[in-house]
Structure 1
Amino acid sequence: MSSFSVTTVNVNGIRAAVKERSPENLGLLPWLSSLDSEAVALQEIRATREQAEEALAPALDDGWHLSMSESTVKGHAGVGVLSRTAPTTVRVGIGSDEFDTLGRYLEVDLPSALGEITVASLYLPKGAVDPAHTSTATETDERKFAEKKRFLAEFGDHLGTRIAEGRHTIVGGDWNIAPAENDLKAFKTNRRSPGFLPHEREWVADLFAAGWVDVMRRLTGDVPGPYTWWSWRGKSFDNDAGWRIDYHLVTPDLAGRASKSYVHRPEAYNLRWSDHSAVTTVFDL
């Protein structure tokens, strides 16, 4: 039996992620070279295609293929998929006039022993900003969250279409929504925080009701974590006070073939090259 592994990771800026920070922290590229996955969904590339190709040059020389959707807003968002084989088809966006030029979503079709599998990379809007970066945090948060709600409406329709088509699909990404209490450490103090609001969790629940499967949660059971994002500030990482906002949602038939899903959590804070950790899911074909 063959397998098909897919990884997702928010790189928090591809040019920063590949930099060697110390003899112990060599950045993204050595990690990527040791990865046994057919595809890697990337989010927050925050670079032009030319800049991303330059940063990833060793990986591309090693045989990886980069499909990418950059944002028209400089230094913002950007998604991509690195794949071992060249995609048969690449689709950018969800058919949205507002969001398709902002580097939020990309799909590629890849060959496998099961036939074509669609691997998608998603960077869902956070719906909030850091108050330190604005003098009108409340107004800006309201605007950002209104943007997120518009994206959820359009993207929900897109996912509904995809699951109705019946194709094998894996949507990996930074979903910026923790679906349940076990998906963040401090759930009691975050009930009014974007990423854990009732409207957002209901939206994810509707995806589950439509047939999409959170394969990590199915395989780990209803337990705390495993978390995938920790603030750079304080002792969040050391205390594992994180959020599980990076995951794979998978169409039902393919989800039934998922045998393993795990988080690539660094052994120490100083070995992090992103504030997110990668997530890999293995499918038995």
Structure 2
Amino acid sequence: MRFISWNVNGLRACLGKGFVESMKGLDADFICIQETKMQEGQAEVDLPEYEEFFCSAEKKGYSGTAIFAKEKPLSVQYNFGEHTDEGRGIILEYKDFYLVNVYVPNSQDGLKRLDYRMKWEDDLRAFLLELDAKKPVILCGDMNVAHEEIDLKNPKTNHKNAGFSDEERGKMTELLGAGFTDTYRYLYPDLAGVYSWWSYRFHARDKNAGWRIDYFIVSDRLQPQIVDAKIHNEVFGSDHCPVELELK
């Protein structure tokens, strides 16, 4: 099974930049999208072999997630707990696993939203553990954190900034310590210079001055089934690039 996760930074804009062609080329079983910035029905996505699931924010043009799945799920849940108004999560249940697609809130400049982010992290971890008690979990999305110094180009100058604060990194450590595996680092523990997001400023992508903030994280017991994890930095259309997980 092959899974793709991509923060498209506006699905309607990305559709005009080759989204469908890129997804057809990658030919995954599941495509998980973050930051759709749209309501369901505002755009036609020409992927007829997939079932479509959209979770939109109450505020138009903001946040939002979607999943395109070749296999029909047993059940679908939109959002979790009290986090219901920003369209940040879709959970599909299958016979052997849960697929959880999330767009984690950004802590913002000056860490203005850090308190909410910390609550989100704690609530998400508790929710994932509830699911994991029933069957294995495959979590993906824009997690808005570079976990370790190897996960961004300039760790020293970004320390304490949103996405690389001690608090956010600590929550990722807690999540992994609760029984989950960062699939990319599991396979490539020491591989540096591979990122999934680049600022639009200062020609960051040309210079590969990026951050790895997009993840596939799985229940530890799925480790033997991890075949490969990829970061498709050859694919354009957003300030993020798609990331991939292959499981057997």
TM-score greater than 0.5 by the shorter chain:
yes
| Aligned pair partner of 1:44 in 32, 35, 42 | 35
SS, match of residue 150 in structure 2: helix
TM-score under structure 1 normalisation?
A: 0.83
Matched position secondary structure for 1:189: helix
Contact persistence 1:225–1:244 (CA under 8 A): no
**How many residues get paired?**
248
Aligned-residue RMSD, C-alpha: 1.5
The structure whose Rg is larger is 1
Provide structure 1 residue ranges, at least 5 long, that are not aligned to the other structure. 21-26, 130-137
Partner of 2:12: 15
Task: Give the CA deviation at 1:279.
Answer: 0.4
Q: Offset at 1:190?
A: 0.7
1:120 to 2:106 alignment: no
Output the amino acid matched with 1:45. Answer: T
Partners of 1:14 and 1:55 within 8 A in 2: no
Map 1:166-245 to 2 at 5 A.
166-245=134-213
Cα pair 2:33 2:67 within 8 Å, conserved: yes
Structure-to-structure mapping, 1:64-79, within 5 angstroms: 64-79=50-65
Percent identity over paired residues: 27
Question: Deviation string for 1:145-183 (max 9, x for gaps)?
Answer: 2221221222222123223x1412111100001110001
- Residue number in structure 2 paired with 1:55: 44
| Partner of residue 23, structure 1 | none
Residue 162 of structure 1 aligns to a residue whose secondary structure is helix
Matches within 5 A, 1:243-282: 243-266=211-234, 272-282=236-246
Letter of the structure 2 residue corresponding to residue 88 of structure 1: L
Q: Would you identify which runs of 4 or more consecutive aligned residues in structure 1 move more than 3 Å?
A: none
- Choose from 103, 106, 115 the match for 1:146: 115
Which residue of the partner structure matches residue 100 of structure 1?
84
Which deviates more, 273-282 or 146-155?
146-155
Q: Residues 103-135 of structure 1: CA distance to partner in whole angstroms, max 9, x if unpaired?
A: 11111123xxxx432211110001105xxxxxx
